[in-house]
Amino acid sequence: MSYTVTYHCPHCEAIVELERAGYLDDKAVTPYPFEGWSYVAPDESFEDEDDVDGVEFTCGGDGTLRDGETGCGESFYLSFIKFEDGQEIDPRQPSERVELADESPTAPSGPRGPSGPGSGGFWS
């Protein structure tokens, strides 16, 4: 049995409708895709598909707007709960460590600010 489930566009608050099975495994609706998640259009098969992690909507452009709604044309994403080795994956956690700065002695230093009172700044 399927049901009509509604979601709000995070850009303009328009309401879209999607026919879904009686269970929900939704994680979030976001204006951006989660890293590592795979998305399909609302008219493609997405339920019980091992390689599909969510649905990509185009607000007003994919035929899912509720009657009377006007869309903004922006993409947004319905992401399902995803598991790995029996544990729910947190999509906010980066999949790899990123090093932001080189701390070697030859790395360029940042801008130098005033050294304190009497240096020609506010306190002079």
Q: Phi/psi at 106 (nearest 5 deg)? A: -90, 0
pTM of the predicted protein model: 0.72
52-70: average pLDDT: 96
Query: Which tokens sit at 46?
Result: 């997405």
In the block, residue with structure tokens 């489930």:
5
Residue pair 112/121 in contact by the 8 Å Cβ criterion: no
Under the banding of pLDDT at 50, 70 and 90, the label for residue 62 is very high
DSSP label at residue 12: T
pLDDT digits (tens, 9 = 90+) for 4-25: 999 999 999 999 999 998 787 8
Sorting pLDDT into bands at 50, 70 and 90, what band is 65? very high
Compute the distance between CA of residue 117 and CA of residue 124 in angstroms, rounded to an integer.
Answer: 6
